[in-house]
Amino acid sequence: MKKFNLIIGVLAIAVASCGNNVPAIAPVLTTEPVKHDSDDPAIWINKADPSKSLVIGTDKDADGALYVYDLEGRIFPEKVVRDLKRPNNVDVGYNLSVGNDTVDFAVTGERLNSMLRVFSVPNMKPIDNGGFPMFEGETAPEHRDLMGISLYQRPSDNKTFVIMGRKNGPTEGYLWQYLLEADSTGALQATLVRKFGKFSGTKEIESIAVDHELGFIYYSDENVGTRKYYADPEKGNEELALFGTEGFRDDNEGISIYDTGNGTGFILISDQQANMFRIFPREGTNGNPHQHDELGAVKVSTNESDGSEITSIPLNDTFRKGLFVAMSDDKTFQYYRPEDILDSLLKK
């Protein structure tokens, strides 16, 4: 722990000089493009053979889709899920019981019809009988206009929860959390378990990320900062932190959590209009797990990055320390080595 804290201190000093003249870090590769508008990626780890892991990305359009890529950025045409009504964000989970099977799965929200969709991974087949309506009872259309989505799988019992956001909503209870589980017949059901989360009313909330191990939800209240709550609905609705409130050019967007072990690591948040990612300590600062002081920022080649995802799991010879995927506004997703993003802070 002392060694890691020393590194954090070096990072804080080293990145203080990060300015406009610092060159942008280039990705290892760029994926084949989607048809309309790339928005958010998720990484599925093939536990039997990590080199065969997949990246799933949304094509945000009324004629939308989930695109599926290999680790070289190539599309699997047979796995692409089409005819989705503007899917914004996507997330993946593991070992969900459905009938007599246990499956890995992906979730996304169809924004134009307010439906949660669930697909098995890696074959990308629907397992939701057409989907589940979200934010039922809300009368304003923009209060059912789905945007952010994330999963929380509680380590104590492996129960699976979906956290869903929308284009607009109240200043309290902006996010709704659903329990996703099979009923007695084996069919999936989505049951509302809580409404929580503050909203500034300034813009919108799209990016949501969950730290499964530490049990926290983070979400970007755009133009304001990143809010932090307990992921377990049984622990209450207290806001634990609001950080990243300064330094962003405009929107704070995609959130990714990089695990360096023993509860430590980094939270990367997209400074969208600056084409940068600002980096915060996962474990907190000065002995306070909810004090997330900025460590610095890194420029990347992605343009107007909205959604992003990261893993520290070794995948192949190219991505030995994991993979960082960021959406770019040219209809693609860009693949980076996490060490290129994080080690660059030490070199400045």
**Could you read off the pLDDT of 54-64 as tens digits, one per residue?**
999 999 999 99
Handedness of CA 81, 83, 84, 89 (dihedral sign): positive
Contact 294, 268 (CB under 8 A): no
CA atoms within 13 A on the CB side of 150: 26
Helix (H, G, I), strand (E, B) or coil at 101: strand
Helix (H, G, I), strand (E, B) or coil at 138: coil
β-partners of residue 258 are: 266
Helix (H, G, I), strand (E, B) or coil at 120: strand
> Taking 90 as the threshold, does the pLDDT of residue 23 lie above it?
no
Question: Ramachandran region of residue 339, left (φ > 0), alpha (ψ -120 to 50) or beta?
Answer: alpha
If 0-12 CB within 10 Å is exposed, 13-18 middle and 19+ buried, where does residue 77 land?
exposed
> Taking 70 as the threshold, does the pLDDT of residue 226 lie above it?
yes
If 0-12 CB within 10 Å is exposed, 13-18 middle and 19+ buried, where does residue 236 land?
exposed
pLDDT at 15 (0 to 100): 43
pLDDT at 20 (0 to 100): 56
- In whole angstroms, give the CA distance from residue 333 to residue 326: 6
Domains and CATH numbers, the chain: 2-347 (2.120.10.30)
Side chain identity at residue 132, one-letter code: F
Handedness of CA 48, 313, 328, 110 (dihedral sign): positive
- In whole angstroms, give the CA distance from residue 167 to residue 142: 6
- In whole angstroms, give the CA distance from residue 191 to residue 169: 20
For 91-118, how does the pLDDT look when each residue is reduced to its tens digit (9 = 90+)?
999 999 998 899 999 999 999 999 999 9
Per the prediction, the chain carries an average pLDDT of 91
pLDDT at 344 (0 to 100): 54
For 245-255, how does the pLDDT look when each residue is reduced to its tens digit (9 = 90+)?
998 988 888 99
pLDDT at 347 (0 to 100): 42
